[in-house]
Each structure stands twice: as structure tokens, then as C-alpha cells.
Chain A
């Protein structure tokens, strides 16, 4: 059944324009065009509309509604959102949490995947299942005990000033790492399986130790998968809302995505400014969207086209 599905060794990067020409009857083609254009227009409306509202002063929209001709556009909501809130701090929090979380996840996941694919070991499949299944659980299944655990586990003061994992950057990094590990182990072990055995046999003959075979041989060969996963993880962890809402109580420690909930309260009388703040928060993901879309899609494809 699965013979026709490409192995993950050659990940299918889903991009339109692969050069296949298909004959379609004219009416069907026109119908398809009309459908896609309609949907595309419908799909972009919310974003364009949000941008439009965020560019208008609240006095104007309070009188005329959001769907009306503008009496002057302004960047005031964007500068206002930036100046009147702690957005700088929230962004900094996002960086402090996302960057180490992505690096640690990829490092640990590549270690596990390497051992599981390259060292014959009785519990290989069991461990792979453990990680994969862990990533599929809804977060809310584990949150109640996890929350208590975070209130219980003491950590040194240089990690968290209240001496607990709760309310600390370290705690948030930790849960993001643990939760994303499963997906990355799954993808990377599939990828590593496709590396030919002979390369490793040659390395063993040359006397390369296990660590050298991981560090100098496997990691460079996995670079495409690691790049794709890094893009995906950065977006996912940056966009995380749930962990930060529950495990970080103090507003000034929250990363930007979950801090949007705080800003919603702070600017409650000015939806235009909330929209502006939300769009500012989207800038990093929009950069990924423009510059690294291929990597992002390749990452998703790696996770799903396992035959």
C-alpha cells in the first residue's frame, strides 16, 4: 500500500509548480479557478481587516464602526501599544524562552534518535512509542499534576527567584522541551534510518567513537531535517499560549503570545490598539512565513509522510 509514498529520506516538499501538467476540461478548470480565488479572498479578509482597523484612530472607529471609510490613517496604535505596555519585556521573554528551548530540544532529540537507530537495543520501538505518544497527548491531560509539580520542585535561586519551577523561565523552557521532544525524536529517527549503514561501518573501521559518529557524521547528514525542525519548533514554541498561561502567573514574565491576554485587559476600551499589539506580536512569525516557508512546510511534511 505504501510503496508509492516516498520514504522520508527524500522529503516531499509541498510546493506548487512541480512541473506536472494535467489535462483538465475547461469548465472544470474555470470552476476550480473561481473557487480558489473566492476562498483566497475570503481567507485574506480577516488579516487585511485587522491591519486596516489597527491603522485607524479609535475615535474614528468608535463613531463610524470598523467597516467605514477612514478619516486619516495613523501608526499611533502601533507606537501606543509599544510604549504603553511592556511589549519590549514580553518580546525579550519570548526570546529567553524560545531560543534555548529549540536548541535543547533538537540536541536531546537527535541524541535519542541516534541511539535508537544506531545502537541495537531491546527497547528501541518501545522508547520510540513512549516519545511519540507523549507528544500526542492533549496538554490538559498532564497540566493538573504538572502544575502541582511545578509548585513543589525546588530549584536554585539563580534559576528562579522564587525558588520554584512555577513562574520561571526555566520551567517554561523545560515543559516546552519535554513536550516537543516526542515529535522531533519521531521525525529524526525516521530521517536517520535512511542514512546508509555502510557509512557507519566505514567509520567504525576507522576507529570513530560513538560520540564522533554522532557529532561528526550523523548531525551533518541530518542538517536539512534539523533546519526544518528548528523552523517549526521556533514557530510553535513562540506561538505557545497554554503552557505560559498556566505556568507563568506574573504578567512581566510571560512571553508575548500569552501576554496578549494581559494586553486584552489593559487596552480593553481600544480594540484598535489590541489589534496593533497582536500584529506586532506576529512579526517574528511573519518573518518565518516570508523567509522560511519552505523549511516550515518541509518540517510538517517530514512529520507526516512516513510511509
Chain B
């Protein structure tokens, strides 16, 4: 383990060495024990079968059976994968570009920029649990805002936004985008403010219009932040959990299954299937390694060269 290797710095007093050891050792051990050890255990447990009862001797090797069950037997698995993919696509194709658009317009200092920014940013401060609860007032079949306005609030013609399996994923995605767009807006604004203004002025002076200036000059310069935003978008769509939990009021509603929800179903649900839950976690892990590697590569490649 890295913790025990000697610092290269010569001339450090024994006391300083001890302090370095503690300052680094405690956090590294905590991170290894409670983040990386569970992450790697997930991989190991995913090849076993264990209902969580009894000691470790009850953990039986199971080969790739868990993965086979997920792919061929579990009726919730493929819907969950599909919903995660839809979630990701909606974030990448809608919420993120919308947030970027907000940022670009606000950055141009039109009248009232501060107000727009404050309002659009508000959902980012709120917990997803609260967001789920307040949107239920809008989606409520009999009393809700949408059905009342569109006249679908009679028992004969109700639209059940959160209950109908063909609609509810989209309804929840509206809630998610409501928050995500503001989040992306703030990240992107930070990037835009950091772009050298003279660069833009030079482009404008050369006769390019605002549109060209943005796409040919500003956007390429912002490559690092574009990658950060892409990574945040991908990871957030894999982490999606809270809104579905709150809007389901109990066991997940058909139409809203997500991999993250299935993972916890197997540890908190009526029957605990540790091995199977782990294998679903590993599926999430493998997918998330893509954005994680992209981020690490772009962030640390220069440092590694040093």
C-alpha cells in the first residue's frame, strides 16, 4: 500500500515523518476501506451467491450465473438498462445543451441576467427528495396543475403522469432536467467567465459574428470544461435514484426501474440477494468507468508526464 512508502524528501525530522504519515495515512486508509474495498468487493461478490444470512461460509461460488440471470431471467433488468440509457440521452441531448444555452445567453449580459441566473440556479440548491415532492403537485391526476389546465382531471379521462408506465419516465425526467440544466449552467458560466475577453474581441474584429465567434473560438478554448460537463452529465445519470424513490412511494413503479434502484432492492427488499445485487452494481461500475477514465485522462495526463 502506498501509505507505507518512504517520502523521498531527505532531511525530514522523525517527527515530521510521523506527521506526514498520519496526515496522509488516516484519510487514505479511510478512502480505501470504505470506498475502494466495497467497490472491489462488489466485483468479487458478484460471482457468488449469498442471501446475507449466516456467516461468510454461506457465500457460495456462483460463476457468472448472476450475470446470466440478470440478462435472461430478471424481468426488470433490461427495462432498467433502457431507462438508464434514456435518462443519459435526455441529459446529454437536452438538459446539458439547455444549461449551456442559458449560460451563453446570461454571459452576454442582457437585461435581467442576474435574475435569470438566480432563478434557474435555485433547483440546484434543493434536494432531489424535495424536488420529487413538489413536482407531484404538478402531476397529481385529480388535483394537479397540468391535468387541471388541460381538463384531464375527471375520473373518466385522467392522465396518470407518474403512474402510467409509458409516461412516468418522461415525467420524472422533466423533474431531473429542471435541476440538471441549472447545474450545467453554473459550471459553464464559470468556464465562460474564464475565457480571455481579448480572444473574443479579436474574433469579432476579424468580422466573425457572435455565432461564429462562439463555435469557432470560445467553444474550442473551453474543451476542458466541456469534458467536465460531459463527465458530470454521464455520472449524474448513472446515479439517478432519489426522484424515482420518492415518486414511487414504495416499491419502484413499473416504467421507472433504474439499475441503481435494482441494486438497493436486493439489499433492502423482501429478499436479500447480496451476490445478485453486487452483480448489478458491477454493471453500473463498468459503465461509469468510461466517464471516470475520460476525466482522469484529461486531468492528470500532464501531471503524469512531469
Contact = CB atoms under 8 A, between A and B. Distances in A.
A123 interface: yes
A166 B264 CA distance: 15
A69 interface: no
A149 B274 CA distance: 12
B245 A305 contact: no
B155 interface: no
A122 B8 contact: yes
Main secondary structure of the interface of B (DSSP, over half): helix
Contacts, number: 371
Interface stretch (B67-75, B89-97, B101-109, B161-169): B101-109
B187 A300 contact: yes
B7 to A, nearest CB: 5
A33 B110 contact: yes
Interface string A258-301: 10110011001001001100110110011011000100110011
A158 interface: no
A147 B291 CA distance: 26
B265 to A, nearest CB: 11
A1 B130 contact: no
Nearest to B279: A144
B85 to A, nearest CB: 15
A148 B274 contact: yes
Given A17-B114, A18-B193, A297-B190, A281 B127 contact: yes
A20 B8 contact: no
Given A2-B223, A282-B130, A21 B102 contact: no
Interface string A175-186: 101110110010
Contacts of A132: 295-296, 299
Nearest to B268: A246
A66 B112 contact: no
A131 B31 contact: yes
A99 interface: no
Contacts of A6: 194
A288 B107 CA distance: 23
Interface residues of A, number: 123
Interface string B226-240: 001101100100110
B110 A245 contact: no
Nearest to A22: B108
A65 B142 contact: yes
Q: Which of A240, A264, A304 has the most CB of B within 10 A?
A: A304
Interface string A1-34: 1101110000011111110111110001100110
A67 B142 CA distance: 11
Interface residues of B, number: 127
B39 interface: yes
Contacts of B195: 4-5
B88 to A, nearest CB: 12
A271 B13 contact: no
A260 B194 contact: no
A140 B175 CA distance: 21
Interface in A51-70: 53, 61-62, 65-68
A22 B110 CA distance: 9
B30 A108 contact: yes
B39 A141 contact: yes
Contacts of A214: 23
Interface of B: 2, 5, 7-9, 12-13, 15-16, 19-20, 23-24, 26-28, 30-39, 41-42, 45, 52, 102, 105-123, 125-130, 133-138, 140, 142-145, 148-149, 153, 178, 182, 186-187, 189-197, 199, 204, 210, 220-225, 228-229, 231-232, 235, 238-239, 241-242, 245-246, 249, 259-260, 263-264, 266-268, 274, 277-278, 281-282, 284-285, 288, 291-292, 295-296, 299-300, 303-304
19 contacts: A12-B190, A17-B109, A20-B197, A21-B109, A50-B133, A65-B142, A108-B30, A130-B32, A137-B39, A138-B235, A142-B42, A144-B277, A145-B37, A145-B42, A209-B13, A209-B16, A241-B128, A257-B130, A285-B126
Top 8 closest A-B pairs, CB basis?
A301-B190, A16-B113, A14-B189, A145-B41, A239-B127, A50-B134, A111-B23, A142-B38
